[in-house]
Amino acid sequence: MRAFLLFSSVLFIRFVHSVETSKNDGFEEMFRVRDTTLDLSDPDETIFNKVEDPFDGVGFISYAPVKGTVMKSVRDGFRGIWNAQDNQLCSDAKVYKKDGTMLLSLYVRTGNLSKLNHYRRVDGEWNGLNDEEFNKVIEELRDVPEKPSGDENIVVTLHKRRGEKPRFKACKNGLDWVDISKEEFHQKVKEAESAPVDLVPSGATLYLDNTDTVLFDLSKGFYKGIVCKDYTPKVGVYAVKVVDGQEQVWAAEKRGEYCVNGSGLAKGEHRLLYLRLYKEVKYVQRYFEKLDGAWSEVNEDGFNKSYKEMKNRPVAYELELTNADPERVSVVEREEDGTMYREFTPKKNADIVSVLDHRNVIWVNHAGTKCTAVVHSSKGKSALLLVRLDDGSGGTLEDYLDKKPGLGWVSVPEEEYYSRYQSMKTEVAEVEDPEDLSENVQDLPHPDGYTLNLAHVILSEFTVTKPDANTLVYRTLGTEPLLSVVDGKVEIWTASGNEKCLSVHLHSKGELLLLALAFDRQNSGKYFKKEGDEWNSIGDAEFVTSLLS
């Protein structure tokens, strides 16, 4: 605890000193550069320098604004955490994570004074902590080795953050841990390595999805849609148990048996695990497979067969007509008589399970069939969709859709589809009048700000990020504020008074669409829910309930 407090004090003193001395290096100019907001749910690494440096089993990330920017507020999605008052600024934000616990420290300067602000996230809310409370939680999170028993002689090294020297400790015959020198540490490690295997201490647990990188080296890769992870215990660490969530996959049966290394493979819900073990003075291999949510041991042939099936199994893919992924589908385009034709063919690593048009699901695959091609034809406001399917028995099926004015995409019979197809080739493309442009085209920027049209987002004016599979976050690229949000012709929100919207969060869950607007410190967030074709304002409690349902 004293070492940690001393380290925190040194960092704080250095920070104060650096801010004081920076007055002569143009510190006052910082108040004339662009203000920025750090969103912990989706940090913008183009304006924040990110440094990851875990210590003692605690995940640690630092965010500092790049040159030319000043951090004036910190948020977590639509929840505000800290906002600058008067001439305040934040020079650094530090995040600590472990086992669901999340802490935040902000280095805040007010005039000539500097201080540390501490916060802890509890049930989604950020609560303030004083220095003593914060340091107590950090101490509880740090890995402290358990005292051994019997004749074991264990030595450990505890690494702190970058710039601080490691500490070495030893424990013998169940006594308390004591500090030792670096030379004593290496001597004891050498003695342990040369000792008979049944006397080598063991006891570490390998957690597959929450691996402690203090004890294990973890490397990750991606191959044919398969997520690959390799686990290797560090020197002096002996893994005697492997756990996945609450389920124990493997455990040593007697002293002297331990895991040398392991490899995990995952694709969707299907998972495979290979372990190389030291057992009874020889190395052996064990194989495991997770199906239907439970692990079971398999032989080598079964493992290899499942691995081959995993490699060949395509990934479920949602085809977005306006933004197809070239890694998943091949696209062939041609134009004839003013009609644009686009044919999407899934690659071997993709299985098209649905088709979307501007994030709206317009087609879902049938059970027992496989989509082989999607043909999209469009001319002006008219559009048709043809989906070809393999029925699994060598036969071919086709689905037909027509985009009708006021109704959207609807399923139509084959005869009607081809009738519309022929008429589309000869008809004159309908030219949209200025009043209808808002249905498909983003409004031009207001001289003093922007309008976000959810039906058609212009990427030259907005950044779009996707923090998770069901969320899109929009932010303006320019310095002008966001003045309104619309969905086609439907008005959702218009700024009033001193409202300043920082970001727009669109959440989708099936047919449910939710919208959250994050504002500056002077205004609370606003929330909306789409019901039919209308967007209705809702309270924060209803928003959270709908989001979690």
Last residue of a domain, one of 98, 114, 141: 141
Closest alpha carbon to 502 in 78, 84, 44: 78
pLDDT value at residue 446 = 44
Q: Is residue 226 part of a domain?
A: yes
Q: Are 307 and 191 members of one domain?
A: no
Please provide the DSSP assignment of 174-195 as one string.
Answer: T---EE--HHHHHHHHHHHHHS
Last residue of a domain, one of 312, 335, 352: 312
Contact 267, 229 (CB under 8 A): no
* Regions of the chain where pLDDT drops below 70: 1-33, 56, 143-166, 171-177, 191-203, 224-225, 281, 367, 428-448, 459-460, 469, 478-479, 520-524, 549
Q: Are 299 and 267 members of one domain?
A: yes
Q: Strand ranges (DSSP E) for 234-293?
A: 239-244, 247-251, 258-267, 270-279, 282-291
Q: Is residue 148 part of a domain?
A: no
How far apart, in whole angstroms, are the C-alpha atoms of residue 6 and residue 115?
Answer: 16
Q: CB-based burial of residue 8 (10 Å sphere; 0-12 exposed, 13-18 middle, 19+ buried)?
A: middle
How far apart, in whole angstroms, are the C-alpha atoms of residue 104 and residue 184?
Answer: 37
CA end-to-end distance (rounded Å), the chain: 42
Find the helix or strand (DSSP H, E) in which 379 lies. Answer: strand 370-379
Give the tokens for residue 267: 């694709």
CA 171, 175, 179, 183 torsion-angle sign: negative
pLDDT value at residue 292 = 81
Q: Are 321 and 306 members of one domain?
A: no
Strand, helix or coil for residue 494: strand
| Structural domain count of the chain | 5
Contact 296, 332 (CB under 8 A): no
Q: Is residue 247 part of a domain?
A: yes
Q: Which residues contact 139 (CB under 8 A, 6 or more apart)?
A: 1, 4
Strand, helix or coil for residue 217: strand
Q: Which domain holds residue 533?
A: 435-548
How far apart, in whole angstroms, are the C-alpha atoms of residue 124 and residue 544?
Answer: 10
Q: Are 258 and 351 members of one domain?
A: no
Q: Per-residue pLDDT tens for 5-47?
A: 444 544 444 444 444 444 444 434 434 467 888 989 888 888 8
Q: Which residues pair with 75 in a beta bridge?
A: 39, 80
Q: CB-based burial of residue 105 (10 Å sphere; 0-12 exposed, 13-18 middle, 19+ buried)?
A: buried
Contact 383, 392 (CB under 8 A): no
Closest alpha carbon to 212 in 121, 140, 143: 143
Residue type, 72: K
Strand, helix or coil for residue 422: helix
Contact 320, 354 (CB under 8 A): no
Q: Are 20 and 127 members of one domain?
A: yes
How far apart, in whole angstroms, are the C-alpha atoms of residue 85 and residue 521?
Answer: 9
Q: Is residue 467 part of a domain?
A: yes
Q: Are 13 and 127 members of one domain?
A: yes
Phi/psi at 432 (5° precision) = -75, 135
Q: Is residue 146 part of a domain?
A: no
Please provide the DSSP assignment of 97-163 as one string.
Answer: EETTEEEEEEEEEETTEEEEEEEEEETTEEEEE-HHHHHHHHHHHS--PPP--TT-EEEEEE--STT
pLDDT value at residue 413 = 92
How far apart, in whole angstroms, are the C-alpha atoms of residue 381 and residue 387?
Answer: 20
Q: Are 114 and 170 members of one domain?
A: no
Q: Are 78 and 128 members of one domain?
A: yes
How do strand 239-244 and strand 204-207 relate by DSSP bridges? Answer: parallel
How far apart, in whole angstroms, are the C-alpha atoms of residue 105 and residue 108?
Answer: 9
pLDDT value at residue 279 = 80
Q: Is residue 489 part of a domain?
A: yes
Give the tokens for residue 236: 């002096």
Give the tokens for residue 193: 């390595």
Q: Is residue 164 part of a domain?
A: yes
Q: Indicate the Cα dihedral angle 104, 107, 108, 109, nearest 10°.
A: 180
pLDDT value at residue 316 = 75
The single residue listed with the structure tokens 């199906």 is: 291
Q: Is residue 147 part of a domain?
A: no
Closest alpha carbon to 425 in 305, 335, 533, 339: 339
Contact 357, 374 (CB under 8 A): no
**Cα 480 to chain centroid, rounded:** 28
pLDDT value at residue 430 = 58
Q: Are 319 and 303 members of one domain?
A: no
Last residue of a domain, one of 265, 287, 312: 312
Q: Are 340 and 361 members of one domain?
A: yes
Q: Are 182 and 272 members of one domain?
A: no
Q: Are 288 and 185 members of one domain?
A: no
Q: How many CB atoms lie within 10 A of CB 240?
A: 19
Q: Which residues pair with 410 in a beta bridge?
A: 402
Contact 343, 332 (CB under 8 A): yes
Q: Indicate the Cα dihedral angle 236, 242, 246, 248, nearest 10°.
A: -130
pLDDT value at residue 154 = 53
